[in-house]
Amino acid sequence: MNRFDLISDLKIGHIVEVSGTTIRVELSGDVTELTRTYEGRVYPIGQIGSIVKVHFGRRLVFGFVTLLRMRSEELLEIAKPIPPDADQRLMEVELFAEGVWNAADQKLRFVRGVTTYPLPRQSVHLLTREETVQIYSAAEGQQNEGEYSPLVPFAYYVGADNAICRANVDKMFGMHCAVLGSTGSGKSGAVAALLHSMLDHRPELNKACHPRILVIDPHGEYGQAFKERAIVYRAYDPLGNEETTGAPICLPYWLMSADEFRTLVIGKTEQEATSQNNIVYKAITYARMVTAKLVDPSPTAFGGVAPADGLDHDAPRPKEGVTHEQLIEFDHDKPRPFSLEEFYNHIFYLQAARVQGTQLQNVTASDFATKFKSILDKLSVLRRDPRIRFMMRDWNDQSPSLEHIIAQLVGQIQSDGGVDQDIRILDISGLPNEVAGPLAAMLARLLFQYKVYQTTDERKRDPVVLVCEEAHRYVPDRGEAEYAAAQTAIRRIAREGRKYGIGLMLVSQRPADVESTVISQCGTWLVLRLTNAADQQHVSRFLPDGLSGMTKALPNLAQQEAIFVGEGASMPARVRIRDLTDDQLPKSETAKFAKGWTLDRLTEAEIAKIAKRMAG
């Protein structure tokens, strides 16, 4: 028998209303139980998210079941009297695609969207398992017509004989994606499964895939999932044990924009918006000009001769052979190195100086305490903080160059065994928010600038994906971000990254707390179990394909199950994420309380070791 034939045993009802892409179906009176049996298989009727078909000549129209209800409930809602015979069962279906079955070559020509709408009284049928598999295969085949395959298998379709689900990574990352799910739904495992699948993928025969993926990891959980295939950069390691160690990261302070550095040095103070901002901006600009050999270094003592050229005594003056135009055109936000000593000297010996006669002398103690002392004190504290030593080492001529810093993020690095370490994980666990924020901002902005300055050919050879775990920390929907400094950089990647070959993967357990303008830029959604009503409602506002009704299934998804929709999905579907071995999973397992409480308590000697690590 040909597939997609009219099978009377699988007829479940007829259409009673057509409203756009939504149809309402009245179930047949002979449907006494919500199952149909055909050729020894039992097919459930009306499962939320299941697919039904409507025959229209040779054309087939497909839709998702989104709602089941009694007609009496509908009449009750609109305050109409309920007649005794109002016991019909209604099913709402969202039409999403159509196709034509070619019996000659046994293929389905599948097209997303609906151009031919069914009519009332037309029959509605269930799909056989074989037909369901054929739909998914035809939909994926549409996305794989080039000389290479962008389809990466990472899951299985639920209810389709475990047919493999493939994501189109070109569209998934090119238009950004979001992985959402409540705690314990398998969110971290889903991210790991996607990344493992990309590492294993062969887009072209006998050609390995070497993805450029950077993961900002706030909990230190992804390092163990990728072993030799990833390099873990650990910004701060208070324990120093085998589980948490990683390669030292080189992300110096001078990569920051003037505004990011100002946020780090000043923080939130009453005077942040006034004089202190200007003090920091002037010092950064001057220090960068010194490195660029445009101006002479700041003095290192008071008592020098005051300038008599009519400019402010702390204004930059060109060196011999340098013009004023060069100083005017100088961009203080570009990632140019500068010395913290020079930054300090400019504030202490120039900005905190006054002209007395023909000499520069220090300002009064009260003026210094009001305007300058807090900035220099904070700088001193930052330089002594062991948690950010990786960032605050003073620059000198032997310091790593910009190209070395970028190469550690996107360049080729191999393990001792010669294995390419394609995934780069920045472990920021243990860092305070006031440092983690500027660090994440610096990384995001550096990547974006790197892509902006590439040629078209370079972008084709070097697409990059940035994975942001706990996305609500960077771009919250309301209030101030925990990583406030990163907010602007992540927003810009979300809005403009597609043009420059940088993709974004947002991962969050509270989608309602992620900024709407950023999350709406995501074209692909992998939504695992969501139990919070506010999160479900938030997701339904952005789901593509008119499938917001599918959010009704979100609270009841099993672990590792997800709704996969959007540009990267061949068609909206309920999927089960592939299983990973224990050593491929992130370190995010929940503590076993009952088991732990059966074990011996820690001894005082063991507690002493922990206390020593805590106190340093």
Residue 150, domain member (yes or no): no
Last residue of a domain, one of 90, 111, 142: 142
Residue 616, domain member (yes or no): no
pLDDT at residue 270, rounded to an integer: 47
Could you tell me if 395 and 252 are in contact, meaning their C-beta atoms sit under 8 angstroms apart?
Answer: yes
- Asked if 189 and 281 sit in the same domain, the reply is no
Last residue of a domain, one of 392, 423, 446: 392
β-partners of residue 124 are: 13
Residue 404, domain member (yes or no): yes
pLDDT at residue 1, rounded to an integer: 47
What confidence tens digit (pLDDT) does each residue in 92-146 have?
888 888 888 887 777 888 888 888 889 999 999 988 888 888 888 888 776 665 6
Would you say the C-alpha torsion 165, 140, 153, 536 has a positive or negative sign?
Answer: negative
- Asked if 404 and 385 sit in the same domain, the reply is no
At 467, the pLDDT band (50, 70, 90 cuts) reads very high
At 79, the pLDDT band (50, 70, 90 cuts) reads low
- Asked if 87 and 52 sit in the same domain, the reply is yes
Distance, in Å, from the CA atom of 280 to the CA atom of 266, rounded to the nearest integer, reads: 9
Q: What residues contact 161, with CB distance under 8 A and at least 6 apart?
A: 129, 132, 133
Residue 154, domain member (yes or no): no
- Give yes or no for residue 57 having a pLDDT over 70: yes
Orientation angle between helical segments 433-452 and 402-410, nearest 10 degrees: 90
At 234, the pLDDT band (50, 70, 90 cuts) reads confident
pLDDT at residue 549, rounded to an integer: 61
- Asked if 185 and 282 sit in the same domain, the reply is no
Residue 348, domain member (yes or no): yes
Distance, in Å, from the CA atom of 431 to the CA atom of 387, rounded to the nearest integer, reads: 7
Give the number of domains in the chain.
3
Last residue of a domain, one of 392, 425, 441: 392
Question: 446: domain CATH number?
Answer: 3.40.50.300
- Asked if 280 and 198 sit in the same domain, the reply is no
Least confident range of 24-28, 125-129, 322-326, 428-432: 428-432
DSSP 513: G
Residue 149, domain member (yes or no): no
What confidence tens digit (pLDDT) does each residue in 395-430 have?
888 888 899 999 988 888 877 777 888 899 988 887
- Asked if 103 and 133 sit in the same domain, the reply is yes
Assign residue 479 a region (left: φ > 0; alpha: ψ between -120 and 50; beta: otherwise).
left
- Asked if 121 and 52 sit in the same domain, the reply is yes
- Asked if 212 and 296 sit in the same domain, the reply is no
- Give yes or no for residue 269 having a pLDDT over 90: no
Least confident range of 3-17, 38-52, 204-218: 38-52
- Asked if 431 and 369 sit in the same domain, the reply is no
Start-to-end Cα distance in the chain? 74
- Give yes or no for residue 600 having a pLDDT over 60: yes
- Give yes or no for residue 48 having a pLDDT over 80: no
Q: How far is CA 465 from CA 106, 156, 450, 496, 564, in A?
A: 39, 24, 13, 13, 19
Residue 147, domain member (yes or no): no
pLDDT at residue 218, rounded to an integer: 85
Parallel, antiparallel or unpaired: strands 51-56 and 123-126? antiparallel
Domain containing residue 418: 164-236+245-250+400-491+501-515+524-596
- Give yes or no for residue 194 having a pLDDT over 90: yes
- Give yes or no for residue 341 having a pLDDT over 90: yes
- Asked if 133 and 23 sit in the same domain, the reply is yes
Average pLDDT estimate for 176-185: 88
What confidence tens digit (pLDDT) does each residue in 542-583 have?
765 556 566 777 888 888 889 898 888 888 888 899 998 888
Average pLDDT estimate for 461-479: 84
- Asked if 62 and 136 sit in the same domain, the reply is yes
DSSP 165: E
Least confident range of 18-32, 441-455, 546-560: 546-560
Residue 212, domain member (yes or no): yes
Q: What percent of the chain has pLDDT over 90?
A: 18
Q: What percent of the chain has pLDDT over 70?
A: 90
- Asked if 199 and 272 sit in the same domain, the reply is no
